C-alpha cells in the first residue's frame, strides 16, 4: 500500500497543563514573558499558496501565489493564517495535545462484495420523500417492481434501450436520472402486471408510477415501478436528513461535488413535489434511505466517534493554552501573533502547472483507521461500522528525498484539474512571531514546533499540492529576545516530567521521520483507481511511515533519564503545593459563600447553629453572631426558670398563709429543705431568694 501521506498516531493520553486556567491577557502569569522571534523561510521545492482570486487565462481559472499589490508591484507573501495552521499542527503533536479541526463526517459505503452492505439492504422498500413545513416524511409504498428499457420502449417509444444500453454515451449528463425524465414522453402513471417482481404494462394490472434512477453504465437494463396506494403509511425522517444530505455532498462545490441527481430532486422537494426514494426499515422506523435501489448506506460511527474520549475532554491542552480556543461560550484568546511572511528576494514565477489535487478520502478505512486486527494477522478490517474504530491520527505529507516535484496522473478530464503558477524553489520569506505573557515552557514548545525540537535536517511543508512535493520549506530563527536552548529545555522538562518516554514515543518518531528527507517518489504517490479495490481485496493497509522507509528519527534531547526522574520528583512536589493552594482557595471561597448565606438567615438560627457558626467562621467578622447568641441565651435562661419559679412562688404564698397557725414551723422547714435542694431549685436565683425570705418568716 502506498500513499503520498501518512499519519502521526493519536496518543492515548493528553497533556493538560496545570496552569491553563490561569492564562489570559488580564491575568499576568507570575513567571510570564513577552517577546518576539524573527524567522526566515526558504522554499526547498516549488511552492504555491493560492491567491484568493484567480486569473482567467484561455478560459481557465489560474491561481497565482498569494500576493498584494504595493506601489504597483506584486508582493508575494505567506499569509499568517497559513503559517499558524502549519505551526499549530506540529505543536499539537509534540505537546500531546488533542487533535483539533476534525470534520465530523459520517461516511457512506456501497460495496456488493461486502457482507455488511448486503445485510443493510436486504429488504428495500420504495416510497416518496415529502416535506411538510420543517419536517420530512417518507410515504411507504412497500416493495418496488422492475421494468426493462425494452418494455418501456414498447409502450412509450422512447428508445431507452438504444440510448442507455446499446449506444450509451457514458458522460455525466447521460448518467443522471434527470436525462431519462427529460427524454420520456407520456404519463408516468400506468397499470402494471407483475411476475416475480418484473413488470409489464397492462391495463388490467395494478396502478403504479415509473421511477427512473441514474445510469452508471450500459449494463443497467431496468428501471422501477412504485405501486401507488390511496393512504400510504407516513414515516418521519427529519432526524435522518442531515446524514442523507451529507451522503450526496449537498452544497459542496469542490470534489466530491454535490450529486447532480440530488440537486435535481432537491429543487423539486423545496417546491413541494414528491421525490422517489428507496429505504430500509427497522421496526416501524426508517433506518436509512437513498435515491437508488442500492443506495449508499451510512456507517454507524462518524469520524469524531472514532476518537478516544481523552481527545474530547473540555480542559485546555497546551496548544489551546498557547493559541487559544473558540468553543461555544468557552473561549480563550491566544497569546501568539504571527505576521504575514513576505518574499525578500526576487521570486521567480514558474509556468502554469495543471494538476489533479484531489483530497484523500477518509472513507478509505484501510488507510484512515487503525487496522490493529490485520497487524495481529487476524485478517479482518476495522471499519466505521465497528465500535472499536480509531482514526489513524494527524495526517502529514512526508518530506521527499530531493527537491523535485512530480505530476499527477492525467485522466483526460480537464474539469478536475487545478491550474496554478508556483514560485521557484529558493524563494525566501521573512516575518515575525510575537508572544505575550507566556511561560518559558510554552515559548519552548513554540520553538520546538518551529525546529522539530532542534532536530537537524528536518523540514516543514505548506500550501497547495503537498502530495506532489510542493511546499517543502526550511524554517530558520534569525533573531530572538531570549535564549532558544533555555526555553526548549523548559518545555522538555515539562513534557518529560509528565511523560518520561516522550522522546521515544511513536508520535515523535513518526513526526520526525516524516519531517526528514527520506521519502522515495515511488512510495509517495497515489495509487491508480483500480489499485484501491485490489489492495482492499488483498487485506492490505497503510503501514506506519517509519516501517515503510525502514528508519526511525528521534528528537534531540537535553536531559538524561536520571535527570528527568529528579525533575519529575521536584515537579510532583510543586504540583502538590499548587493543588493544595488551589484547594485551600476553593475552601475559603466556599466558606465565604456559606458565611454570607448564614448572615442573611441570622434571624432564623437557633443557639446550636449560632454556636457552631461562631467556631466555623472564627476568621470572619462574627460580632453579629455573638450579639444574637447573647440574646438567645438570656431568653433561654429566662425560659428555663419560669416553671420552677412559678411553682416555688405558689408554695411560698401557701406558706405565708399558714403563719401564726399550728404546724407553721414544720411547714417552713419542709419548704426550706425542698427549695434549697439544687435538684428542685434548678439553680434559680429567684427561688433561692424565696428560701431566704422563708427563713425569716415567724
Per-residue pLDDT of 223-232, as tens digits, reads: 999 999 999 9
* Number of domains the chain is built from: 3
Residue in the block written with cell 409504498? 141
| The pLDDT value given to residue 329 | 64
Residue in the block written with cell 514546533? 449
End residue of a domain, out of 524, 559, 594: 559
Same domain as 329, residue 292: no
In a domain, 142, yes or no: yes
Burial of 573 (0-12, 13-18, 19+ CB in 10 A): exposed
| The pLDDT value given to residue 359 | 64
Average pLDDT over residues 153-162: 95
Same domain as 262, residue 127: yes
DSSP state of 421: -
In a domain, 344, yes or no: no
In a domain, 527, yes or no: yes
End residue of a domain, out of 298, 313, 347: 298
Q: At 389, give phi and psi (nearest 5°).
A: -60, 140
Same domain as 244, residue 123: yes
Provide long-range contacts, Cβ within 8 A and 24+ apart, for 655-664: 655/694, 655/697, 656/697, 659/697, 659/698
CB atoms within 10 A of CB 170: 10
End residue of a domain, out of 540, 559, 578: 559
Full domain range(s) for residue 380 = 6-46+81-107+303-338+358-413+437-559
pLDDT at 355 over 80: yes
Please give the full DSSP string across 583-626, using - where no structure is assigned: HHHHHHHHHHHHHHHHHHTGGG--HHHHHHHHHHTTTS--HHHH
Same domain as 504, residue 518: yes
DSSP state of 467: G
Same domain as 217, residue 126: yes
In a domain, 461, yes or no: yes
Same domain as 86, residue 165: no
In a domain, 432, yes or no: no
pTM above 0.75, yes or no: yes
Same domain as 292, residue 308: no
Strand partners, 40: 430, 476
| The pLDDT value given to residue 603 | 80
In a domain, 424, yes or no: no
| 100-114, 119-133, 656-670: least confident range | 100-114
Q: pLDDT averaged over the chain?
A: 90
Report how far residue 57's alpha carbon sits from residue 54's, in angstroms, rounded to the nearest whole number. 9
pLDDT at 637 over 90: no
In a domain, 390, yes or no: yes
Report how far residue 475's alpha carbon sits from residue 460's, in angstroms, rounded to the nearest whole number. 8
Strand partners, 438: 33
Burial of 199 (0-12, 13-18, 19+ CB in 10 A): buried
Same domain as 644, residue 549: no
**Angle ∠(470,474,478) on CA atoms, nearest 5:** 145
Dihedral sign from CA coordinates of 326, 329, 334, 339: positive
In a domain, 312, yes or no: yes
Confidence tier at 328 by pLDDT (50, 70, 90): low
Confidence tier at 412 by pLDDT (50, 70, 90): low
First to last CA, the chain: 124
pLDDT at 291 over 90: yes
Same domain as 555, residue 499: yes
pLDDT at 634 over 80: no
| The pLDDT value given to residue 571 | 81
Average pLDDT over residues 67-77: 92
Same domain as 269, residue 362: no
| The pLDDT value given to residue 27 | 78
Same domain as 636, residue 505: no
Average pLDDT over residues 282-294: 94
pLDDT at 48 over 90: yes
- The predicted-structure confidence for 243-267, as pLDDT tens digits, reads as follows 999 899 888 877 778 899 999 999 9
pLDDT at 302 over 80: yes
Same domain as 475, residue 373: yes
Amino acid at each position: 500500500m502506498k500513499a503520498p501521506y501518512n499519519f502521526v498516531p493519536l496518543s492515548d493520553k493528553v497533556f493538560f497543563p496545570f496552569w491553563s486556567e490561569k492564562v489570559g491577557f488580564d491575568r499576568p502569569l507570575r513567571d510570564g514573558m513577552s517577546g518576539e522571534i524573527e524567522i526566515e523561510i526558504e522554499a526547498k521545492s516549488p511552492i504555491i499558496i493560492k491567491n484568493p482570486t484567480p486569473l482567467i487565462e484561455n478560459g481557465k481559472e489560474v491561481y497565482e501565489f498569494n500576493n498584494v499589490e504595493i506601489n504597483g508591484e506584486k508582493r508575494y507573501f505567506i499569509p499568517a493564517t497559513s503559517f499558524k495552521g502549519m505551526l499549530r499542527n506540529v505543536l499539537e503533536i509534540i505537546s500531546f495535545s488533542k487533535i483539533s479541526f476534525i470534520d465530523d463526517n459520517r461516511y457512506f459505503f456501497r460495496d456488493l462484495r461486502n457482507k455488511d452492505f448486503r445485510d443493510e439492504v436486504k429488504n428495500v422498500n420504495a416510497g416518496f420523500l415529502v416535506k411538510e413545513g420543517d419536517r420530512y416524511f417518507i410515504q411507504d409504498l412497500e416493495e418496488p417492481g422492475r421494468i426493462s428499457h425494452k418494455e418501456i420502449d414498447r409502450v412509450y417509444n422512447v428508445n431507452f434501450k438504444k440510448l442507455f444500453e446499446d449506444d450509451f454515451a457514458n458522460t455525466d449528463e447521460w448518467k443522471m436520472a434527470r436525462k431519462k425524465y427529460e427524454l420520456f414522453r407520456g404519463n408516468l402513471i400506468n397499470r402494471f402486471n407483475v411476475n416475480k417482481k418484473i413488470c409489464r404494462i397492462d391495463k388490467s394490472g395494478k396502478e403504479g408510477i415509473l421511477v427512473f434512477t441514474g445510469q452508471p453504465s450500459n449494463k443497467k437494463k431496468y428501471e422501477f415501478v412504485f405501486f401507488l396506494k390511496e393512504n400510504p403509511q407516513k414515516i418521519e425522517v427529519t432526524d435522518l436528513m442531515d446524514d442523507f444530505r451529507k451522503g450526496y455532498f449537498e452544497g459542496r462545490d469542490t470534489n466530491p461535488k454535490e450529486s447532480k441527481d440530488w440537486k435535481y430532486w432537491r429543487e423539486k422537494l423545496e417546491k413541494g413535489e414528491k421525490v422517489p426514494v428507496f429505504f430500509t426499515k427497522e421496526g416501524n422506523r426508517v433506518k436509512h434511505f437513498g435515491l437508488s435501489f442500492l443506495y449508499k448506506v451510512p456507517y454507524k460511527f462518524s469520524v469524531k466517534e472514532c476518537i478516544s474520549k481523552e481527545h474530547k475532554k473540555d480542559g485546555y491542552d497546551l496548544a489551546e493554552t498557547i493559541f487559544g480556543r473558540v468553543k461555544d461560550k468557552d473561549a480563550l484568546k491566544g497569546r501568539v501573533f504571527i505576521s504575514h511572511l513576505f518574499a525578500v528576494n526576487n521570486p521567480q514565477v514558474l509556468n502554469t502547472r495543471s494538476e489533479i489535487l484531489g483530497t484523500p478520502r477518509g472513507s478509505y478505512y484501510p488507510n484512515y483507521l487503525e487496522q490493529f486486527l490485520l497487524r495481529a494477522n487476524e485478517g479482518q478490517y476495522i471499519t466505521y461500522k465497528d465500535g472499536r474504530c480509531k482514526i489513524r491520527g494527524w495526517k502529514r505529507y512526508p518530506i521527499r528525498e530531493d527537491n523535485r516535484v512530480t505530476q499527477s496522473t492525467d485522466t483526460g478530464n480537464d474539469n478536475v484539474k487545478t491550474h496554478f503558477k508556483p514560485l521557484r524553489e529558493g524563494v525566501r520569506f521573512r516575518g515575525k512571531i510575537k508572544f505575550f505573557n507566556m511561560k518559558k515552557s510554552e515559548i519552548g514548545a513554540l520553538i520546538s514546533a518551529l525546529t522539530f525540537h532542534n532536530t537537524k535536517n528536518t523540514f516543514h511543508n505548506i500550501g497547495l499540492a503537498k502530495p506532489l512535493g510542493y511546499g517543502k520549506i526550511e524554517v530558520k530563527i534569525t533573531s530572538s529576545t531570549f535564549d532558544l536552548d533555555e526555553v526548549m529545555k523548559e518545555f522538555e522538562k515539562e513534557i518529560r516530567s509528565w511523560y518520561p518516554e516522550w522522546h521515544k514515543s511513536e508520535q515523535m518518531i513518526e513526526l520526525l521521520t516524516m519531517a526528514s528527507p527520506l521519502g522515495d517518489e515511488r512510495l509517495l504517490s497515489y495509487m491508480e483507481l483500480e489499485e484501491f479495490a485490489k489492495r482492499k481485496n488483498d487485506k492490505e493497509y497503510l503501514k506506519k511511515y517509519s516501517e515503510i522507509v525502514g528508519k526511525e528519527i528521534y528528537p534531540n534531547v537535553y536531559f538524561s533519564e536520571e535527570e528527568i526522574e529528579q525533575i519529575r520528583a521536584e515537579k510532583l512536589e510543586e504540583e502538590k503545593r499548587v493543588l493544595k493552594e488551589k484547594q485551600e482557595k476553593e475552601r475559603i471561597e466556599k466558606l465565604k459563600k456559606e458565611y454570607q448565606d448564614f448572615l442573611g438567615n441570622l434571624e432564623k438560627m437557633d443557639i446550636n447553629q449560632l454556636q457552631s457558626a461562631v467556631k466555623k467562621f472564627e476568621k470572619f467578622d462574627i460580632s453579629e453572631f455573638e450579639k444574637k447568641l447573647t440574646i438567645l441565651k438570656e431568653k433561654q435562661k429566662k425560659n428555663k426558670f419560669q416553671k420552677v419559679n412559678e411553682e416555688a412562688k405558689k408554695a411560698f404564698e401557701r406558706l405565708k398563709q399558714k403563719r401564726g397557725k399550728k404546724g407553721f414551723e414544720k411547714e417552713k422547714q419542709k419548704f426550706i429543705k425542698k427549695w434549697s435542694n439544687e435538684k428542685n431549685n434548678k439553680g434559680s436565683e429567684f427561688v433561692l431568694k424565696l428560701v431566704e425570705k422563708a427563713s425569716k418568716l415567724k
